[in-house]
């Protein structure tokens, strides 16, 4: 039996708390379903940055290349390291170097969880472009510190990048309820988003079984609040998807339930799995963080590794715990109690 080699990067803050919880659950799932997860832990974090001047070693990407998947807790400790340094030193280079262009974020209510909306029958899969667009990093500043200062941040949309994320979205829609909403803003952004719409129509022609809507980002935020049950798969650019997935987290009951996968679909590089919530320094190490988003992200990792049955069992265990009222409201249960309830449901 060849073990799955997993690089663990707990990172900062509650990233450490929830990674420990997720790994415990995943290891139990592995032994129950007869496979092995061989984990290697890397202490890359803001603490590492303060000690060494780098978030990860110079050969960090090369080191990660040898793994089947990467599991990441959270990155950021803004009191000592600016987020613009820590994120660009660890999380973002991994997404880009490994061409993890599809950021997948599921938004639905777990049993027992009441979100802020009256609607409860929604099941949305947000596919966020993860390597280019508004977060390409192209730009610069001139005349810094003067009254003539200029900052430019150029969004880059390539045919290759736009086409592949839409194609990925259509594949997901085909495997689900066969509806795709392409998030645009072509009424105002007449170059990039008009192009995005054109590519949407072109790719849609290859998927006649999938119905397509195009919706402007502003209307989309209203839709997600007023009628989320009408949505199935959403495909959005990097910035739009970033914003919509925090909204998605909110309607599913909060960031403690928001899981994500950064996928390199051709599997030429390892993919990375991480909860959406971030490092939450104020509650770090206090047995407060909800590990459900982290465990759910772990289930997505198992699925990606071909362990579909184990992934399904972990999801069922999460649902078993929340169905009994465990972890469904902030403060109702600690990290340890929620993890124990998931483990019990898995046993």
- The footprint of ligand IPM (CB under 6 A) covers 87, 242, 276
Is residue 101 among the annotated active site residues? no
**DSSP β-bridge partners for residue 115:** none
Q: How far is the CB of 242 from Mn ion (least distance, A)?
A: 4
- Concatenating the DSSP letter of every residue in 57-118 gives -TTHHHHHHTSSEEEEEE--BTTTB-HHHHHHHTHHHHHHHTT--EEEEEEEPPTT---SSS
Query: Helices then strands (H, E): number in the chain?
Result: 12, 12
**In sequence order, what are the residues at sequence separation of 6 or more whose Cβ sits closer than 8 angstroms to the Cβ of residue 120?**
109, 114
Taking CB within 5 to 8 Å according to partner kind, which of Mn ion, ligand IPM, none is near residue 87?
A: ligand IPM
Q: From CA 296, how far away is CA 278, in angstroms rounded?
A: 15
Q: How far is the CB of 301 from ligand IPM (least distance, A)?
A: 16
Distances (CA, A) of 165 to 76, 122, 285, 302: 28, 23, 37, 22
Q: From CA 250, how far away is CA 290, in angstroms rounded?
A: 14
- 210 or 293: CB nearest ligand IPM: 293
Of 43, 120, 218, 286, the active-site residue reads 218
Is residue 206 among the annotated active site residues? no
Q: How far is the CB of 59 from ligand IPM (least distance, A)?
A: 23
Of 135, 207, 223, 232, the active-site residue reads 135
Q: From CA 101, how far away is CA 130, in angstroms rounded?
A: 5
Q: Where are the alpha helices (DSSP H) in 205-275?
A: 217-226, 238-251
- 2 or 84: CB nearest ligand IPM: 84
Burial 81-114 (b: 16+ CB within 10 A, else e): beeeebbebbbbebbbbbbbbbbbbbbbbbebbe
Q: 334 by DSSP, 3-state: which? A: coil
Q: How far is the CB of 131 from ligand IPM (least distance, A)?
A: 11
- 274 or 303: CB nearest ligand IPM: 274
Q: How far is the CB of 105 from Mn ion (least distance, A)?
A: 9
Residue at shortest CB range from Mn ion: 242
Q: How far is the CB of 146 from Mn ion (least distance, A)?
A: 32
Of 12, 99, 242, 303, the active-site residue reads 242
Of 198, 126, 136, 191, which Cα lies nearest the Cα of 162?
A: 198
- 276 or 313: CB nearest Mn ion: 276
Pair 214, 236: CB distance under 8 Å? no
Taking CB within 5 to 8 Å according to partner kind, which of ligand IPM, Mn ion, none is near residue 251?
A: none
Taking CB within 5 to 8 Å according to partner kind, which of ligand IPM, Mn ion, none is near residue 340?
A: none
Binding residues for Mn ion restricted to 223-252, rule: CB under 5 A: 242
Say how many C-beta atoms besides its own lie within 10 A of residue 337's C-beta: 14
Of 185, 207, 232, 303, the active-site residue reads 185
- 129 or 242: CB nearest Mn ion: 242
Is residue 282 among the annotated active site residues? no
Taking CB within 5 to 8 Å according to partner kind, which of Mn ion, ligand IPM, none is near residue 284?
A: none
Is residue 246 among the annotated active site residues? yes
Is residue 218 among the annotated active site residues? yes
- 242 or 307: CB nearest ligand IPM: 242
List active site positions: 135, 185, 218, 242, 246
**Contact positions toward Mn ion, by CB under 5 A?**
242
């Amino acid at each position: 039996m060849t073990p799955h080699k997993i690089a663990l990067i707990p990172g900062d803050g509650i990233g450490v708390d929830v990674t420990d919880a997720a790994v415990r659950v995943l290891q139990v799932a592995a032994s129950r379903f007869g496979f092995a997860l061989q984990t290697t832990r890397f202490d890359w974090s803001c603490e590492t940055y303060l000690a060494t001047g780098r978030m990860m070693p110079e050969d960090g990407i090369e080191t990660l290349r040898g793994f089947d998947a990467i599991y990441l807790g959270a990155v950021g400790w803004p009191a000592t390291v600016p987020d613009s340094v820590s994120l660009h030193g660890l999380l973002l280079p991994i997404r880009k170097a490994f061409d993890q262009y599809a950021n997948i974020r599921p938004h639905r209510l777990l049993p027992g969880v009441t979100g802020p909306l009256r609607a409860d029958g929604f099941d949305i899969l947000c596919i966020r472009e993860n390597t280019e667009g508004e977060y390409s990093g192209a730009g610069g500043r001139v005349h810094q510190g003067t009254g003539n200062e200029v900052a430019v941040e150029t969004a880059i949309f390539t045919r290759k990048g736009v086409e592949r994320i839409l194609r990925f979205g259509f594949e997901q829609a085909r495997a689900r309820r066969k509806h795709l909403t392409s998030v645009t803003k072509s009424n105002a952004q007449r170059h990039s988003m008009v192009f995005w719409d054109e590519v949407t129509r072109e790719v849609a022609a290859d998927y006649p079984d999938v119905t397509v809507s195009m919706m402007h980002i502003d209307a989309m935020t209203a839709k997600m609040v007023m009628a989320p049950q009408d949505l199935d798969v959403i495909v959005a650019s990097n910035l739009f998807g970033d914003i919509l997935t925090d909204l998605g987290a909110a309607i599913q009951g909060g960031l403690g339930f928001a899981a994500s996968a950064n996928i390199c679909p051709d599997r030429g590089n390892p993919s990375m799995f991480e909860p959406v919530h971030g490092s939450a320094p104020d509650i770090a190490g206090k047995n407060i963080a909800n590990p459900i988003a982290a465990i759910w992200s772990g289930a997505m990792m198992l699925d990606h590794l071909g362990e579909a049955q184990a992934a399904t069992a972990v999801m069922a265990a999460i649902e078993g715990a929340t169905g009994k009222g465990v972890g469904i409201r902030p403060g109702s249960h600690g990290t340890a109690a929620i993890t124990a309830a998931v483990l019990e449901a898995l046993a």
